Structure 1
Amino acid sequence: MRVISGKVKGRRLKAPNSDKVRPALDQVKEAIFNILFDVEDLSVLDLFAGCGSVGIEALSRGAKSVVFVEIWDKAVESIRENLEHCKLSESATVMKMPVSRAIDVLSRREASFELIFVDPPYLQDLVNPTLEQLSHSGIAHKNSIIVVEHHPKEPVSVPASLILTDSRKYGQTRVSFLKPA
């Protein structure tokens, strides 16, 4: 697993050796960023961040800042090591807590993000509750883009306050793009 483009292109990233973390495949990550095209100067939220590969890719491509949210100790350790290895720690915040709690905390802080990645463990019934909570949190504003990686057999119920703008399948991964209505 590596950084595909940007100022730290080619850097190898570490992930814990476990089935608890499913890093975004380079092919899927590259497809996402090709669709997004430009992330320069955006504030990014990476939910269920795993080893941080998607958020680090965003920073490498010029994102202003990334907040990484992850609960598992070994994954949080990997995020921090990867940020240090890529010399991107100054633009990052790592929150070690459940995603639902992090959304509440960020909402109370009146934080908002232009780009939100949601990549929960597959088939764990986490996508729809997370989207529902995000839709009421105020974290996503009218110009935000929400990118959801999920299993193709896991249906996404789009809350009334969000619009599905695109959805593409890459092997055992479906990537859905949403925005506020």
Structure 2
Amino acid sequence: MKILAGTFKNQSIIINPRFLYRPTTSIVRKSFFDALRSLENKDFLDLYAGSGIVGFEASSRGANTVTFIEMNKQHMSQIRKSAESINYNHFNFLVRDSLRFLKKCDKYDVIFADPPYGLANLSALIDLACKKLNPGGIFILECSKNESLAGYHKIGKFGDTQLLYWEA
């Protein structure tokens, strides 16, 4: 899997086929980052980071800091290995439960979440994430197209996936 644009364009990110995550596809990432436009001087939070590809894309596109939150230690180890090949010194890596992290963390300019499809408490995730946005911030959720949620704007549908967002 490769970074699509920015400083680290075409940089490969390590994906372990044995891991049971669902990395965000290139078409979804392109739509997501096209909708965001500039990440200059923005603090970016990647929840349920999985492969880390979204956070790496954010760093490539100028994010001030990128924080990866992933509960699986093996996944986080893989993210750290991928980060070693990128010349960027503003990564934070935390092995944590995303919902617990959101209850105590600082605010961010951009929060991206790609939880496992079928996560029971999406409403709690949305509520917590929206409270942790800086003024003018945006929360983007990658979820199943079958989720019925309220108060969002839609970026698009991509097969079984949809991208939704909420603004501060």
TM superposition score normalised by structure 1: 0.87
Q: Partners of 2:21 and 2:95 in 1: how far apart? A: 15
Match of 1:14 in 2: 14
- Unaligned ranges ≥5, structure 1: 159-163
Task: Work out which of the residue numbers 108, 113, 116 in structure 2 matches 1:113.
Answer: 108
Residue of structure 2 equivalent to 1:128: 123
How many residues are matched? Answer: 168
Structure 1 counterpart of 2:24, which letter? A
Could you tell me how far 1:126 is from its partner in structure 2? 4.1
Residue by residue, what CA displacement relative to the aligned partner does 1:94-150 show, whole Å, maximum 9, x if unpaired? 1101011211231xxxx2111010110112224222112224xx4213311111100
Give 2:103's aligned residue.
Answer: 104
Report the counterpart of residue 91 of structure 2 in structure 1.
92
SS of the residue corresponding to residue 121 of structure 1 reads: coil
Q: What is the percent sequence identity of the aligned residues?
A: 25
Moved over 4 A (4+): none
Normalising by structure 2, report the TM-score: 0.93
Secondary structure of 1:86's aligned partner = coil
Partner deviation per Cα, 1:34-90 (whole Å, 9 max, x = no partner): 1111112210111111111001100001100011100011210111111111222x2
Q: Unpaired segments of 5 or more residues in structure 2? A: none
The answer (yes or no) to whether the contact 1:16–1:74 under 8 Å persists in 2 is: no
Secondary structure in structure 2 of the residue aligned to 1:45: strand
Amino acid across the alignment from 1:12: S
